[in-house]
Chain A
Amino acid sequence: MKILRTIQARLASPWSRVTATIAILAFGLIDLPISWGTVRVLKHAMKSPEIGRESAGYYEGLLGVSDSEADALKKSLVGEPTDWVHFTDSGVSQMQTDDILLFRLSPDVSRSLFGKSFTTNSLRMRDRPVSAEKPAEVVRIALLGASMDMGWGVATDETYENRLEDWLNEQAKQHGDPRRFEILNFAVAAYSPTQRLESYRRFARKLKPDMVFYATTMLDARLSEIHLCDLLSYKTDFSRFEHLTRIVAQSDYDPASLRRDPRGKWVDKNKFKSWLEPYRDGINHEVLGELARETRADGVELFCLIIPRAGRNDLPHLRAEGVEIQKTSARAHHVPVWDLTDAFDTEDPTKLALATWDDHPNTRGHELIFRRLAESITAHGPENHFGFVRRPDKGKNGPAVSATHERTSP
């Protein structure tokens, strides 16, 4: 007790307090070396305002303001600006509740979101214009993914997908390769693995891709849960998707016990989530298997990209287990994996996020993903498509990527 009192007296002196405050402030400002792993993790924790967990008790719920009417209140308290919109409210998509996709991007959108240009082409892709017919000497890569890959919050030219496209074409030109590369972005915000599979079947396949990049994040299990929940909520027919019907049959799903609001949406989704919990990763595994079989049958090469989120939820120690699950699943289906999740490890993740409440990568985040992806292509890309960037004299990945980065950076 005496020791405690002495410490308290020391800390209570004004100069000790000022010194401690300046020290904590400096700790928050200094960029720590990467080798200081644990200290960096602790610093990220201290700087992270994310409220990523379910409510833990009375006060957490009270302080988190996590229930109804909370969105607007949270914006005022935590800081979301009033012009911040969610994807579903942004007017860039159309609902199709009788379709397994549930929603699609609207065609030919051109508007500003968060001060950045958001455009779609006539084929409903968040991408530059592209022809339905595949031109000669063009290598097409279809990108299947969700909001990170669609480029939520960044300009169309700033997405890692378009940066990669520019870089590949620049490299091909420099190396005298006559081919041109087109990366077709079929990613749509909140698309679950099942929706991505359906995108491939209905849209990507028609454009005759040579390769498919299947982008996945640590959030995919959650997206599958939301998708299935919405399908059941809207009573959308998904009988064609055996993996979904089987899971619903296996779970303790009991629609009669779920309350609905006047608009027909479930009120207590948590009950459904607990039923689905054991099967969430299984959905992703089965979808990847289906996609692998179908791309093989089409003669298309499939690659699985593991994309990082810009927040502390994807710090190395937190993502390790999830990444391993994704890799194991890909290996089981003989799909090559490019793990890009370390792209943000050298920087402060909070500086790469769109905002404190939104862990989508910002412009810098997309640039880092692009660099990491270009490095993977240089090191492991298939010879038949990317041989030109693997030549020893030209393929020193760092300078080549950096040069392009400088050119394509805004």
Chain B
Amino acid sequence: MVETTQNSQIKDTADRSVGSRSGRILPHRQFIPVDRAAARSWYAKLDEGRPANARIDARSLLSSWTYLAILGGLIHVYKIEGRAFEIMMWTVLATLPIYEFVPFRLKKPVLAGSALIAMGLIYGAAAAITVVSFATAMVCLARTSKLSWHTRAGLITAIALGLAVARSAEAFAFLPPAFWAVAGTMLMFRLALYMYELKHAKKQETWTDTASYFLILPNWCFLHFPVVDYRTLQRGFYSKEITETRRRGLNMIFTGVTHLLGYRLVYHELLITPAEVVGTATLVSYLACNYLLYLRVSGQFHIACGVLHMFGNHMPETHHHYLLANSFTDYWRRINIYWKDFMVKTVFNPVFFRMRKRPQPVALGVATCAVFVATWALHAWQSFWLRGTWGLSVTDGLFWGILGVAVLANVQWDARRKPALRSTAGPTFTEQVRRIAGICGMLVSITLLWSLWSAPTLGDWLAMMGRGLIPG
């Protein structure tokens, strides 16, 4: 039924103006159709497929929004991470109510739009336009059906390498300074994962899903960003009830904030420089605090993942109590889980399955080695796009080499070991002691390795260790 103001005018007996008494319809009430049914059908059409998990719950939204605003206030008072982070938080707060009430099909475009606005606010219109244009061109190339997958992958690799050479040679000086890092953070790993999905997916990915994958709102303030998997992001979209997902996200953001505040305490009050190491106590202090600087990474990753949860993306956690790892494989599984998953998906599994006819220890060994070589190379790749330098050094190579060998040995040991029977009575005293010893051993090993990674040269590291272990 089409309801018009004429009808309402007729029904309106209370309003007896001069105009209505004379039989005329008031000018301001003429011909303003209010097609509510059509509007409802328009909304319903776009809202088709809304899962039960995405039901609108204003009360839940209000409580989440209020708590997020308190967290925003805390971030402002402590000046956590600076301008870009604050812009991102205010954008999230502004977008959330709109996002909650828009039809389901518009949710991803709205989020991508707010990510674009935030990018413009943070880096300026010129940088945002340049980055988005370049990213669009790369994604179009990745999606084109006129070329085979291998040709597209080859072309993208060639363009990436060409740009790396151009950047090293200081070509393209006309580009906004933020271009390299922002385009890098957006594409350096995610484009590879997107290509992987294009190769294995049974149907073409939609533009909406693609945009929501590349335009991730918290990415603009955290250039060093967790390697979000395309399929995990899409599968996680409203995969759990929204109130629960938001609560999990708020928990992650809070945890991230506490990590960042803890990082500041370590950074400003506890950390000493390697030159200040003059005995065992100072060595232990340096090793512990130098390792704890990683709190900043875990804090940022928690917040980034938490923000994704606020928009209904139920994602895996990024870290899992990494200080409590009790073996090298356990450590690898707990720290930067997204990176581990990225490596398993793109390196470990392909190598392992190619070698599946070989004996299992050989296949495991080769796949693990491939993972660590790739990790080492891709960390240099990441450094290049974010900082402009490859950061390759002897200590860097030694860190990844030693860690790789340790994980390799651990993997072989785990593969040979018989799985322990789970006792219903909980771990025995011996098991608990063994576990605690494992945690302590891992902490010592990893802090030592971390200090090696942080040292400019092997000589510097040996000199520091010498001063720490043999004082005087």
Contacts and interface: CB of A to CB of B under 8 A. Distances in A.
Contact of A24 (B74, B123, B176, B251): B74
B293 A21 contact: no
B70 A59 contact: no
Contact of B82 (A25, A53, A79, A312): A79
B70 A61 contact: no
A14 B248 CA distance: 10
Interface residues of B, number: 61
Interface in A1-51: 1, 4, 12, 14, 17-18, 20-22, 24-25, 28-29, 41-42, 44-50
Interface in B386-404: 386-389, 391, 396
A46 B254 contact: no
Contacts of A70: 387-388
A201 to B, nearest CB: 36
A57 interface: yes
A4 B432 CA distance: 14
B54 interface: no
Given A49-B79, A356-B82, A66 B293 contact: no
B67 A28 contact: no
A63 B391 contact: no
Among A21, A25, A77, residue most surrounded by chain B Cβ atoms (within 10 Å):
A77
Contact of B391 (A14, A45, A46, A61): A61
Given A21-B254, A356-B79, A65 B265 contact: no
A70 B177 CA distance: 8
A21 B67 contact: yes
A29 B77 contact: yes
A53 B127 CA distance: 29
B17 interface: no
B83 interface: yes
A62 interface: yes
Given A45-B264, A61-B391, A69-B180, A28 B78 contact: yes
B177 A73 contact: yes
B398 to A, nearest CB: 13
A59 B294 contact: yes
A17 B248 CA distance: 12
Given A48-B264, A59-B297, A12 B251 contact: yes
A312 B265 CA distance: 12
B319 interface: no
Contact of B388 (A1, A41, A69): A69
Interface residues on A, range: 35 or more
B458 interface: no
A72 B388 contact: no
B273 A62 contact: no
Interface in B247-277: 247, 250-251, 254, 257-258, 261, 264-265, 267-269, 271, 273
Given A53-B273, A67-B389, A78 B453 contact: no
A21 B70 contact: yes
Contacts of A53: 267, 271, 273
A61 to B, nearest CB: 6
Contact of A57 (B70, B80, B453): B453
B388 A76 contact: no
A77 B84 contact: yes
26 contacts: A1-B432, A12-B251, A14-B250, A21-B257, A22-B70, A24-B261, A25-B70, A28-B74, A42-B269, A44-B268, A45-B264, A46-B261, A49-B80, A53-B273, A59-B296, A59-B297, A60-B293, A60-B454, A62-B383, A62-B386, A69-B388, A73-B181, A76-B124, A77-B81, A79-B84, A356-B82
Question: Top 10 nearest A-B pairs by Cβ distance?
Answer: A79-B83, A57-B454, A72-B177, A78-B82, A45-B268, A28-B77, A77-B84, A25-B74, A79-B82, A68-B388
Given A17-B254, A58-B383, 13 more contacts: A21-B70, A21-B254, A24-B74, A47-B77, A47-B79, A53-B273, A57-B293, A59-B224, A72-B178, A77-B221, A79-B82, A79-B83, A79-B84
Interface of A: 1, 4, 12, 14, 17-18, 20-22, 24-25, 28-29, 41-42, 44-50, 53-54, 56-63, 65-73, 76-80, 82, 312, 350, 356
